[in-house]
Amino acid sequence: MTQQTKYTEDNIRSLDWKEHIRMRPGMYIGKLGDGSSPDDGIYILVKEVLDNSIDEYVMGAGKTIEISIQGSKVSVRDYGRGIPLGKVVDVVSKMNTGGKYDSKAFKKSVGLNGVGTKAVNALSSFFRVESNRDHKSASAEFEQGNLIHKELLEESSRRKGTKVSFIPDEVIFKKYKFRSEYVAKMLKNYVYLNPGLTIIFNGEKFFSENGLKDLLEDNNNKDDMLYPIIHLKGNDIEVAITHSKTQYSEEYHSFVNGQHTTQGGTHQSAFREALVRTIREFYGKNFEASDIRKSIISAIAIKVMEPVFESQTKTKLGSTEMGGGLPTVRTYINDFLKTQLDNYLHKNPAVSESIQKKILQAEKERKELSGIRKLARDRAKKASLHNKKLRDCRVHLGDIKKEAHLETTLFITEGDSASGSITKSRNVNTQAVFSLKGKPLNSYGLSKKIVYENEEFNLLQAALNIEDGLEDLRYNNIVIATDADVDGMHIRLLLITFFLQFFPELIKEGHLYILETPLFRVRNKKQTYYCYSEEEKRNAIERLKGKPEITRFKGLGEISPNEFVHFIGDDIRLDPVMLDKEMSIDQMLQFYMGKNTPDRQKFIIENLKVELDIVEEV
């Protein structure tokens, strides 16, 4: 007979605001992470504080924001109006308290529900807020959301505005570190969306005069653009468009009220539809949508009244209405492009001719590839049934997009022993394994036809589900897991070349990583340390004293599944693969995979690593 669990009044518990945030952080900031991914929680904390300063600028108060990140401490100082002094404690520690419920004060605000800074406060081991206004100053300090000190100065010479400082709590965010590249990218987006705003980050100045036009120019090499950027602006909408000469896929940067909607939403879908409709009408031909959008690089920003997002992290817009008596988001964007883009193409025949040639070329390539694509898809389906290249997981990215704290990962491994160890130790719900058969083909300089003709590439593309772009990508993280020897480094380089050549947006959007695995195991009868460097090994030997047993892992296959579980679980170490902003993709591919130049030989000898950019810690 099954024993029933008692359910009484004692089982009912009410949590206060900070307890709930700390118990369920994913509801408020998405995933936690360690700082290796741009959407990790520590960056969301920075964003939540920064959003309030941006809203001040939007309301015409304060043209400069200063940000400092030193180690684990973050400080954000604006020169806006300052929080009303009597409410300094309340706005960072009482849920549903804030000034953004008054639509007169914040008509098109980034944050609306008064949760952001409370979450930062609750998830920080140290949190301090200071407000300066009316020649007075008020401040409050907290630990894990608990008020420990507050102060009110009747006289103050400090400039008006608000300063927030915090340290993410290591109890919540374990072994984290801020990466300056991710912070800088976030800040650049803010200045693109707010021309005239100056943000100073650790002494470096960020400023934009031309909005989304600057965004496309800064993110792409000028030589790769098919034609000068089309830059269109209207009331509550801004658009920038060009096509890449070499990129195969579509690339979109979308924003709502200054928020980077990395997962798109109703506005991005409407833009894609409106672009196709406008192009068809302009040329008077019913071109395939995929041919029109192939290789497009674009950005769209809109402002709506009281936007509805699909999660607290605001990565996808759910609103269908613009608000304020305007038509729907879809109609508004369509009418804007129908008028403004059509006018631009009529006035700029050289651009319209370039676009038409690009569409016709895409159409030709699609028809040439149609037969081989069908055969490749059929082969991929049969292969997935009959071989063990892909050991899939149960949950995929499309299933969990509304739950930002969940992630899916595909490990790309070499050799049966390495893939076997990862397969046995992985989380079968969210971690998949793709096994390579020997070294991949060097795809440098080859056409996309090779993706369908080469079995490895065809199956990898099918596993990721990226044949037609990233919209249906099945995994958040694509992790290259190879041995840390010369052969392993070569395989990494060949895989990165494949992604750069055919799917650069995977790297641009921060999906590609290198798995770090330990080089040494140092242990005695009581303790075991896994060491990722010679320095960590020396420290472990000192801690254990005596003569501990030292094992040098020559390859992933030597690490047992029981041990591997430590390296791909909560303590996983990932190095993001980043693009070097000083080099175009063509230049990078030429450097790494072109003729064996002295420069490349010197680089490989000195570095023996294939990160495309050395990630600088703040």
Tell me how far apart the 2 most distant CA atoms of the chain are, in Å: 82
Angle at 581 between CA 577 and CA 586, to 5 degrees: 85
Q: What is the percentage of the chain residues whose pLDDT exceeds 70?
A: 85
Q: pLDDT by residue (tens digit) across 3-42?
A: 555 645 555 445 677 888 888 888 888 888 889 888 899 9
Region 126-154: what's the mean pLDDT?
Answer: 93
Angstrom distance (rounded) from CA 118 to CA 320: 28
Which sign does the torsion angle of CA 569, 571, 573, 574 carry?
positive
Q: What is the DSSP string of 341-398?
A: HHHHHHH-HHHHHHHHHHHHHHHHHHHHHHHHHHHHHHHHHHHHHH--SEE--S--HH
| Predicted local distance difference test score (pLDDT) of residue 586 | 66
- Reading the block at residue 182, the tokens are 């991710």
pLDDT, position 597: 58
In this predicted model, which residue has the larger pLDDT, 408 or 107?
408
Q: How far is it, in rounded angstroms, from Cα 579 to Cα 43?
A: 20
Q: Region 139-148: what's the mean pLDDT?
A: 94
Strongest mean pLDDT among 72-76, 313-317, 556-560, 569-573: 72-76
Q: Which of 92-96, 156-160, 345-349 has maximum average pLDDT?
A: 345-349
pLDDT band, residue 272 (cuts 50/70/90): very high
Confidence of residue 447 (pLDDT cuts 50, 70, 90): confident
Percentage of residues of the chain with pLDDT beyond 90: 43
With 80 as the cut, is the pLDDT of residue 600 above it? Answer: no
pLDDT average, residue stretch 499-507: 87
Region of residue 173 (phi > 0: left; psi between -120 and 50: alpha; otherwise: beta):
beta
pLDDT at 5: 58
Residue 381 phi, psi dihedral angles, 5° rounding? -65, -45
pLDDT surpassing 80 at residue 599: no
Pinpoint the residues of the chain covered by CATH 3.40.50.670. Answer: 387-517+553-607
Better-scored residue on pLDDT, 437 or 108:
437
Q: Give the pLDDT confidence score for residue 306 in this predicted structure.
A: 78
Report CA Rg, the chain. Answer: 26
CATH 3.30.230.10 fits 212-366, yes or no: yes
- ∠ Cα 470 514 505 (to 5°): 25
- Give the residue, 392 or 239, on which the prediction is more confident: 239
pLDDT-derived band at 1 (thresholds 50, 70, 90) equals: very low
CB 325 within 8 A of CB 261: no
Q: Give the tens place of pLDDT for each residue, 577-596.
A: 887 655 566 666 666 666 55
pLDDT for 101? 41
pTM of the model: 0.81
Q: Does domain 17-206 have CATH number 3.30.2090.10?
A: no
Is the pLDDT reported for residue 241 higher than 90?
yes
- What's the confidence (pLDDT) of residue 17? 74
d(CA 251, CA 403): 23
Round the average pLDDT of the chain to a whole number and report it.
84
In this structure, are residues 130 and 139 in contact, taking their beta carbons and an 8 Å threshold? Answer: yes
Confidence of residue 614 (pLDDT cuts 50, 70, 90): very low
Contact 484, 491 (CB under 8 A): no
Asked whether residue 322 carries a pLDDT value surpassing 70, the answer given is yes
pLDDT at 580: 64
pLDDT for the residue 471: 77
| Residues sharing a CB contact under 8 Å with residue 583, sequence separation 6 or more, in sequence order | 221, 591
Looking at residues 52-72, what average pLDDT do you find?
92
Whether pLDDT at 360 is above 70: yes
Taking alpha carbons only, the member of 315, 311, 313, 317 closest to residue 329 is 317
Average pLDDT over residues 123-130: 96
Asked whether residue 553 carries a pLDDT value surpassing 90, the answer given is no
In the predicted structure, residue 611 carries a pLDDT above the cut 50: no
- The average pLDDT across 512-529 equals 90
Q: Which amino acid is at 597?
A: T
- CATH 3.30.230.10 maps onto the chain at 212-366
pLDDT digits (tens, 9 = 90+) for 191-201: 999 999 999 99
pLDDT tens per residue, range 204-215: 999 999 999 999
Instruction: Name 17's Cβ contacts closer than 8 Å, sequence gap at least 6.
Output: 93, 94, 95, 118, 122, 145
Model confidence pLDDT, tens digit, residues 256-266 = 988 888 888 88
> Which of 86-90, 114-118, 176-180, 479-483 is predicted with the least confidence, judged by mean pLDDT?
114-118
Q: Which phi and psi (to 5°) does residue 149 adopt?
A: -165, 140
Q: Which CATH class is domain 387-517+553-607?
A: alpha beta
**pLDDT tier, 130 (very low <50, low <70, confident <90, very high otherwise):** very high
Least confident window among 220-229, 268-277, 578-587: 578-587
Q: Residue 616: what pLDDT?
A: 36
pLDDT for 148 beyond 50: yes
pLDDT at residue 25, rounded to an integer: 85
